[in-house]
Chain A
């Protein structure tokens, strides 16, 4: 179960921060000339207030597209030309979405940076007009208000937001390698102060309504309503509209003022920020921090700082120009392309392509209350699915239940849920040592010890007590599913579900089907995974499936690099320099040296010398000496509580000396070491596609980034081959092949791509 257990920490990127910036749905550019029947936005005048309602007919969310902007401009001109209109309200008719962002396809369609810059400037112009509107415009926000949607809202004179769970505000552009390109970098610092604006734009984090009010991002909050004379969603939108109209009227007749008395702290902060050298300090500090975190691999954050700085120091005109030009340039970078690709991939991997399962999984059982088992139980009860957590010992069970409780309690402490919700969620969990209640189970997920005999024993025990329709899912990181299924009486109901640890943080779920697994079983497993909030890739069966196999290839190279005298610290610096969130040595410690040894040996046996490189004995010796990684306190590093600075384990240095290899100078420069690590990973990925383990490059990229922490700025192994050039990669690999042999032999598919530069994994 533990193969890639701790890879979790790899994937800082993989939090769902940017999941809502929406950009799907192709839009026709043909515009209706009729003023009355607009497609994307309409308005009516209520009591002297123009209520503008946005509703994209082709999508679940509203996006800031060209046709919407065109209609909006028309409407605004009409309203401004109508002296009877004293104020306006901007509201969405969709329950879960105000405006979820700019239409990404609009950017995708652009051929040059200049074109994108023009797009940005059009947006800036429109929002400038709104900011200077002669009548007050109130943005009434319910649902996602992100990216371009937020920039629209902050150009308005007043903002109201519902406290609905679906209401989030934010500028997630940075997660897509972009910047807020429609005035955001200019308005936010003035509105929130420089530090808060930086925090918001550089992290791209979602801001909940309460926080938004506190920050000054919105002026007033409105509670969502329950059922009344209409459904809660309709009632809430109508209530929001009523309150917004009232606010617009009050703003128009000066009963309500936007200017707020500044508190002492605010005044003090403004005074300090008035000092040029303080501001300079801040720019420097923020730049340093960004460089530390991104290693300079991501250009967008630096450009955001630049735009803010230009706007503040040289005025808004210069700032806006910098914003639009940088926006255009960023849109053309390979980083932005990679991140946008991941965004689309992630959306694609949140769908069930296997249809709806014949039965809903209402009762789930998890075998083994270890880290993985308890984690799986946690994400399941979190969605109100009744879950049995079974272990063989009271100690194991107690630890597992405590883990679930702690996971939920941490959420309570962060105020994401109330203590009451925590308790109700906990009530869905039953911990037990026997098979009671398994006759009601719709799915059993086993997360027991990674040993074929144990798994066979378990599958037989379980099949004796579960009902015929129940699915048996096995959470393994390397054992082939068909070997596990060999012990089953009903192999069509057996499937692999490879979770990543920590389960509640890691978004990826790798589902593995054998040739006997039925389509309904797969559909059901995907449905459960989606319910658990996972991004899902569905891959074929084989040793190490997809993710473990790629990682094992890279780790084998990492061990060789260590044997060649590159210290663990240097190795980590090199891998992080590529954009991996965790270095190779630290990663091995997190995964567990014993697990790594186990996987390396198994895969080596199954897949042959291609998985050679480092000597497995290095890992085995480490395990013998008790250096099992972080969990045992010692691995490549020594782990002490409280000590921030990790020290290299001297015992490991000795072992490495004993297994020392002589580096080949021609391929041992820093860059070559990096490409040796990367190319083995990438080659293995491409081979998985070639062999049919992977159904398509999209899932390959998503799996590598969200499961293994493959550098997001590269967009995944396939995106990397496309942007780096298969021919260049093959050239490098041939050089390494000469020294090390077949571990670096490029696979056929990679060679095909190298030969024909028109061949690309992503169109």
Chain B
């Protein structure tokens, strides 16, 4: 999980600047529209979407290509042809071929990792201008030949004589032809994410109705934000040879009755997690421009936020996989010397409605705080009027490695719009409806980053 915090600096409140540490700012952030997998993006490749986001960032910020020191991109399901997707996307987007680029992966907080890596590079004085982002493309995933078949094919390469080749070919059986799909389950626990979310919801006594209500709220708020034009981080994407896409297509506010009709998707027949109260498989990409404050001001930018503290935490991958925000939020608050009341904007990644509600209940529970977190008392619940008010992953969509940047940019925009000062971003490192990641971390990993909106831009 990953939590980001952002602040607005006013004269009455702390700036949270740290002695001897550079101020690091978010200049701007963009994303492609997030689309349901298998819709308009379906014929693309991951780096195409990444290219779209990066090009959009270039256009929107007008940053001179040659001053970008480094590009870091996140992805979860890797396309084998573009294993360093950062580099392919950057070159295609018109960045300088002299700018190094690398790819990171950390499940659903991959782009959070990209951003905090950027912060690290700048804080260490190694870079001044870094582009970070992430892409996920679920319309096409690597489906492999079986291990047996791969072995046979590799041996075939080495076979010298026709006889050897024929005998290898002859050894192929029906079983060899069975394809290998990306794992739907956590490698360490063999449990799928949805299954885990259902158990988590049950452990916190989250009902089906509570989950459906939360999911409906997400869709309604997203629709409202879309209609009011608040989702200004979206840049249009021209699908080659096809139309221009300029809006998310997963936002579908329905009704409790409609949602109530669905059968459980994972735990049958008594489960509570359904397709309607889970985030869906999504294609999309995002990107942000991060600089040292000095450099940004020198270039004449009005940065949108300071990026302050961040925390990554990890827990038992079986029973606490999706509880990261509960663990990470109080940690980052303590690190920044703030309390829950100081925060104006909360943006939490919504993997499942049940997971969000369970986290809210965990934050409200003294028992959980005392027995699982080693705290004296409960963390406290974020007020709902400050919580994901422009929709979330349930409605906007969740392209695994692109979500982190969306959350951070959204906090900056909400702080600007609503006049707040501090914001927090939290995400769990394994979200997604049918979670197709083939490489999950041994532990669920969580992160918190604090971002403070700079007064310079207000």
Binding site for B on A (CB under 8 A): 220, 222-232, 235, 239, 243, 246-247, 418, 420
Among residues of A, the one whose C-beta sits closest to the C-beta of B362 is: A228
Contact indicator A420/B188 (Cβ below 8 Å): yes
Question: B204 contacts A229, CB within 8 Å?
Answer: yes
Q: Kindly list chain B residues whose C-beta atoms are within 8 Å of the C-beta of A226.
A: 199-200, 203, 316, 318-320
14 A–B contact pairs at CB < 8 A?
A: A227-B319, A228-B203, A228-B204, A228-B205, A228-B358, A228-B368, A231-B371, A232-B203, A232-B319, A243-B270, A247-B270, A418-B188, A418-B189, A420-B190
A418 to chain B: which residues have CB within 8 Å? Answer: 188-190
Given contacts A226-B199, A231-B371, A232-B319, 5 further A-B contacts (CB under 8 A): A223-B199, A224-B199, A226-B320, A227-B371, A229-B204
Known A-B contacts A220-B269, A223-B267, A246-B270; A229 and B199 likewise in contact (beta carbons under 8 Å)? no
A220 and B202 CA atoms in complex are apart in Å by 17
The answer, yes or no, to whether B365 is at the interface (CB within 8 Å) is: yes
Q: Are B205 and A222 touching (Cβ within 8 A)?
A: no
Which residues of B in the span 159-204 have a Cβ within 8 Å of any Cβ on A?
187-190, 195, 198-200, 202-204
- B387, CB-defined interface residue at 8 Å: no
Q: Is A222 touching B189 in the complex (CB atoms < 8 A)?
A: no
Question: Which residues of chain B (349-405) have a CB below 8 Å from chain A?
Answer: 358, 361-362, 365, 367-368, 371-372
Residues of chain B at interface, number, CB under 8 A: 27
Q: Are B361 and A229 in contact (CB under 8 A)?
A: yes
The residue of chain B having its C-beta at the shortest distance from the C-beta of A247 within the complex is B270
Point out the residues of chain B lying under 8 angstroms from A232, CB to CB. 203, 319
Asked whether B270 lies within 8 Å of A229 as measured between CB atoms, the reply is no
Chain B residue nearest to A224 (CB atoms) is B199
Residues in B with CB closer than 8 Å to A229 are 203-205, 361, 365, 367-368
Whole-angstrom CA separation of A243 from B316 in the bound complex: 26
Which of A227, A243, A247, A420 makes the CB contact (< 8 A) with B203? Answer: A227
Contact A220 B270 (CB under 8 A): yes
The 8 Å CB contact of B202, one of A225, A247, A420, is: A225
By a CB distance below 8 angstroms, the chain A residues around B365 are: 229
Query: How many angstroms from the CA of A247 to the CA of B270 in the assembled complex?
Result: 9
Q: Are A420 and B270 in contact (CB under 8 A)?
A: no
* CA–CA, A246 and B270, complex, Å: 8
Q: Which residue of B lies closest to A256 (CB)?
A: B269
- A227 with B189, Cβ < 8 A, contacts A220-B270, A239-B202 known: no
B270 touches A222 (CB 8 A): yes
Closest-by-CB residue of B relative to A244 is B270
Min CB gap A37→B, angstroms: 29
- A160 to B, closest residue via Cβ: B270
Contacts of B269 in A (CB 8 A): 220
Question: Does more than half of chain B's interface fall in helix, strand or loop, or is it mixed?
Answer: loop
Residue of A nearest to B358 (CB): A228
Q: Does the CB pair B195–A227 fall under 8 Å? A: no
Min Cβ gap A477→B in Å is 41
B446 to chain A, nearest CB (A): 16
Q: Which residue of A lies closest to B266 (CB)?
A: A223
Partner of B200, one of A224, A228, A231, A247: A228
Within the complex, the shortest CB–CB distance from A560 to chain B, in Å, comes to: 56
Chain B residue, CB-CB nearest to A232: B319
Least Cβ–Cβ distance between B285 and chain A, in angstroms? 32
A235 to B319, CA, bound (A): 12
Who on chain B is nearest to A230 by CB?
B367
Q: Which chain A positions have C-beta within 8 A of B362? A: 228
Chain B positions within 8 Å of A420 at CB level: 187-190
Most buried by B among A224, A228, A231, A420: A228
Specify which chain B residues have a CB less than 8 angstroms from the CB of A225 in the assembled complex: 199, 202-203, 319
Give chain A residues whose Cβ lies under 8 Å from the Cβ of B205: 228-229
Which residues of chain B are near A239, meaning CB under 8 Å?
A: 202-203
Cβ of B202: which chain A residues have Cβ within 8 Å of it? 223, 225, 228, 235, 239
Question: Which residues from chain A contact B267 at a C-beta distance below 8 Å?
Answer: 223
How many angstroms from the CA of A230 to the CA of B270 in the assembled complex? 20
In the complex the two chains form, what is the Cα distance from A612 to B320 in whole Å? 65
Chain B stretch 266-281: residues in CB contact (< 8 A) with chain A? 267, 269-270
- The answer to whether B368 and A227 touch across the interface, beta carbons within 8 angstroms, is yes
Q: Which residues of B contact A224 (CB under 8 A)?
A: 199
| Whole-angstrom distance between the Cβ of A240 and the nearest chain B Cβ | 10
Nearest chain A CB to B90's CB is how many angstroms away?
36
Tell me which residues across on chain B come within 8 A of A222, comparing CB atoms: 270
Most chain A beta-carbon contacts within 10 A, residue among B202, B269, B358: B202
Report the nearest A residue to B361, measured CB to CB. Answer: A229
Residues of A within 8 A of B187 (CB): 420
Q: What is the minimal beta-carbon distance from B315 to any residue of chain A, in angstroms?
A: 10
Instruction: For the complex formed, measure the closest distance between the CB of A646 and the CB atoms of chain B, giving whole angstroms.
Output: 35
Question: What CA separation (Å) do A282 and B347 show in the bound complex?
Answer: 66
Q: Which residues of A sit under 8 angstroms from B200, Cβ to Cβ?
A: 226, 228
Chain A residues, Cβ within 8 Å of B188: 418, 420
Residue of B nearest to A228 (CB): B203
B199 contacts across to A, CB distance below 8 A: 223-226
User: How far in angstroms is the closest Cβ of chain B from A152?
Assistant: 23
CB-based nearest A residue for B204: A228
Docked CA distance A482–B365 (Å): 59
Nearest CB of chain A from residue B325's CB, rounded to whole Å: 15
The answer for the CA separation of A246 and B195 in the assembled complex, in Å, is: 20
A235 contact set on B, CB distance < 8 A: 202-203
Give the complex CA separation of A196 and B270 in angstroms. Answer: 28
A246 proximity list for chain B (CB < 8 A)? 270
Nearest-Cβ distance from residue B437 to partner chain A, whole angstroms:
15
Q: List the B residue with the shortest CB-CB distance to A231.
A: B371
Closest CB of chain B to A207's CB: distance in Å? 20
B189 partner residues in chain A, CB cutoff 8 A: 418, 420
Q: Which 7 A-B pairs have the closest CB atoms?
A: A226-B319, A228-B203, A225-B203, A228-B204, A243-B270, A420-B188, A239-B202
Chain A: minimal CB distance from B374 (Å): 13
With beta carbons under 8 angstroms apart, the residue of B195, B358, B367, B372 that contacts A223 is B195
Complex Cα distance, B371 from A420, in Å, reads 27
Q: Give chain A nearest CB distance to B210 CB in angstroms.
A: 14
Cα A228 to Cα B368 in complex, Å, equals 7
| Docked pose: A314 CA to B59 CA in angstroms | 87
Cα distance A147–B217 in the bound complex, in angstroms: 51
Most buried by B among A220, A230, A247: A230
Q: Shortest Cβ distance from B379 into chain A, in angstroms?
A: 14
Neighbouring B residues of A247 by C-beta, 8 Å: 270
Give Cα distance in the complex from A585 to B192, angstroms.
Answer: 53
Give the distance in Å from the alpha carbon of A230 to the alpha carbon of B372 in the complex: 10
Inter-chain CA distance A57–B81, complex, in Å, is 64
Q: How far does the Cβ of B323 sit from chain A's closest Cβ, in whole Å?
A: 9
CA of A53 to CA of B267 in the docked complex: distance in angstroms? 25
Which single residue of chain A is at the shortest CB-CB distance from B364? A229
- The minimal Cβ–Cβ distance linking A245 to chain B, given in whole angstroms, is 11
Shortest Cβ gap from B175 to chain A (Å):
17
8 Å CB contacts to A: which residues of B294-308?
none
Q: Tell me, rounded to whole Å, the shortest Cβ–Cβ distance linking B297 to chain A.
A: 48
Complex CA gap A222/B272 in Å reads: 13
* A9 and B270 alpha carbons, distance in the complex (Å): 46
**Bound: A418/B204 CA distance, A:** 27
The docked-state distance in angstroms from the alpha carbon of A227 to that of B319 is 7
The closest CB in chain B to the CB of A239 belongs to B202
How many whole Å from A248's CB to the nearest CB in chain B? 12
The 0/1 profile, CB within 8 Å of A marked 1, for residues 200-229 of chain B is: 101111000000000000000000000000
Chain A nearest CB, measured from B202 CB (Å)? 5
Query: Nearest-CB distance from B391 to chain A (Å)?
Result: 27
Determine the distance from Cα of A55 to Cα of B159 in the docked complex, in whole angstroms: 68
Whole-angstrom CA separation of A512 from B320 in the bound complex: 45
Cα(A175)–Cα(B16), bound, Å: 70
For B187, the closest partner residue in chain A by CB is A420
What A residues does B204 contact at CB under 8 A? 228-229
- Enumerate chain A residues within 8 angstroms of B203, measured Cβ to Cβ: 225-229, 232, 235, 239
How long is the Cα–Cα vector from A243 to B318 in the complex, in angstroms?
A: 21
Q: Please name all residues of chain A whose beta carbon is closer than 8 Å to the beta carbon of B368 when the two chains form the complex.
A: 227-229
How distant is the Cα of A235 from the Cα of B362 in the complex, in angstroms?
A: 14
**Once the chains are docked, how many angstroms separate the CA of A700 from the CA of B178?**
56
